[in-house]
Amino acid sequence: MKLATLRTGSGSTTAALATGEGTYLALPASDVGALLGHENWRAIAEAADGEAISNPDFAPLLPNAGKVICCGLNYGDHIQEMGRDLPEYPTLFAKYADTLIGANDAVEVRGSARVDWEAELAVVVGSELYQADEHQAREGIAGYTVANDVSMRDWQNRTLQWFQGKAWDATTPVGPAMVTPDEAGEEFQVRGYVNGELVQDGNTRTLVFGPAQLLSYISQFTVLRPGDLVLTGTPGGVGMGMTPPRFLQDGDTLTTEIDGIGRLENQFRIHASVTAQA
């Protein structure tokens, strides 16, 4: 099952079920997060008989996600190629739903000259998880989607805490759809492209902390609820790690792709010169 949040005009959105190549049926919920709030969301989706939509305009998949929690330093092969030991614990940080945009939305950045990419598998929470073990966490995964944890490296590196480089409103594309685990499989090839050039290419089999492990770990200290989103980290190939470092330029197109899940394509408008006050 593949679910998306689609714009329906005049600022409203609807959850929708994919029925074929690019065709959707509207569901009786404003977005996928609201749909997941119903315990019987699978049955609701299976009974879809709403309006057919053939030119989907993807809104942020989870426009009102209560929690958007990200994991850093999670691809074993990338960590080892950087000469570091595998971490004992996941590196976690938080952002807010205001960061999220749709799968094909333009990204406008004012005040950063170091806009970087982080192609990621993201996990959508499907049931309430608190102090859940790994089995419960696995059962609590509603599905998988694609995200790019676009990062303003100049701001991220101003201090030890990454939040201010990660939490810019309307800079994190997510979607286009959530694919349920039964259809998505277990291993995912995660790729990022800048203007069509492949820059990131990793497989989630090398994740130090897999999706269920991450959800279980997070749930030890904070409750996860249906519609929350967990980003699982990015493989090697970010611009900051290149020699010389490379960042997105005004007009660049960033593509983020996971086989069997979906593809984001976002054009960037970057106004580096507008600097903020400190």
The DSSP 8-state label assigned to residue 166 in this structure reads H
Tell me which of 117, 144, 162, 247 binds its own copies, using CB under 8 A.
Answer: 162
Measured from the CB atom, the residue of 45 and 68 that comes closer to its own copies is 68
What's the order of all strands across the beta sheet hosting 107-110?
107-110, 262-271, 253-258, 189-194, 197-203
Read off the amino acid at residue 268: F
Pairing of strands 23-26, 151-152: unpaired
Residue 37 binds to its own copies (criterion: CB under 8 A): no
Quick one: which of 138, 167, 161 has its CA closest to 67? Answer: 167
Read off the amino acid at residue 23: T
Q: Please, which of residues 177-236 interact with its own copies by CB under 8 A?
A: 209, 216-218, 220-223
Largest Cα span, the chain: 54
Of 22-30, 33-41, 114-122, 270-278, the window that binds its own copies (rule: CB under 8 A) is 270-278
Tell me which of 92, 123, 215, 261 binds its own copies, using CB under 8 A.
Answer: 92
Measured from the CB atom, the residue of 95 and 191 that comes closer to its own copies is 95
- Residue 139 Cβ, how far from its own copies at the closest point, in Å? 16
Tell me which of 72, 76, 181, 236 binds its own copies, using CB under 8 A.
Answer: 72
Of 41-49, 93-101, 245-253, 263-271, the window that binds its own copies (rule: CB under 8 A) is 93-101
CB-based contacts of 140: which residues, under 8 Å, 6+ apart?
A: 125, 126, 127, 128, 129, 132, 215, 224
Residue 139 binds to its own copies (criterion: CB under 8 A): no
How many Cβ atoms are within 10 Å of 125's Cβ, its own excluded? 29
Residue 247 binds to its own copies (criterion: CB under 8 A): no
- Residue 166 Cβ, how far from its own copies at the closest point, in Å? 9
Measured from the CB atom, the residue of 52 and 86 that comes closer to its own copies is 86
Q: How many residues does the chain have?
A: 278
